[in-house]
Amino acid sequence: MPRHGGDIYSFQKQEKPLLDFSANINPLGVPDVVRSAIVNAVDFLVHYPDPAQRRLRQALAEFHGKTPEQIVCGNGGADVIFCTVRAVSPSHALIPVPAFSEYAAALAEIGCRVTYWKMPFPYQLDETILKALECGSYDFLALCNPNNPTGTGIAPELLERILCLAAEKHIFVLLDECFCDMAETEPGIRSMLPCLEQYPHVLVLKSLTKLYAIPGLRLGYGLCADTELVEKIRQTGQPWPVNTLAEEAGIAALHAEEYREKSLSFLQDERWRLYDELGKLGFRVWKPSANFVFFRAEGCPDLDERLIPYGILLRHCDNYVGLGVDDYRAAVRLPEENAYLLRCLRQVMEEVLLWWQNR
Q: What is the pLDDT along the chain (359 residues), one digit of tens a residue?
A: 455 555 555 666 666 668 999 999 999 999 999 999 999 999 999 999 999 999 999 999 999 999 999 999 999 999 999 999 999 999 999 999 999 999 999 999 999 999 999 999 999 999 999 999 999 899 999 999 999 999 999 999 999 999 999 999 999 999 999 999 998 777 789 999 999 999 999 999 999 999 999 999 999 999 999 999 999 999 998 899 999 999 999 999 999 999 999 999 999 999 999 999 999 999 999 999 999 999 999 989 999 999 999 999 999 999 999 999 999 999 999 999 999 999 999 999 988 776 555 56
Sequential DSSP letters for 318-352: TTSTT--TTEEEEE---HHHHHHHHHHHHHHHHHH
Whether the upstream peptide bond of residue 215 has omega within 30° of 0, thus cis, is: no
Q: Say which DSSP state 284 is in.
A: E
Cα dihedral sign, 39-45-49-50:
negative
CATH number of 9-30+257-357: 3.90.1150.10
β-pairing, 140-144 vs 113-118, is unpaired
Single pTM value for the model: 0.94
Domain(s) of CATH 3.90.1150.10: residues in the chain: 9-30+257-357
Question: 32-253 domain in CATH 3.20.20.70?
Answer: no
Q: Which helix (H) or strand (E) holds 175?
A: strand 172-176
Q: Strand, coil or helix: what is 300?
A: coil
Residues of the chain with CATH 3.40.640.10: 32-253
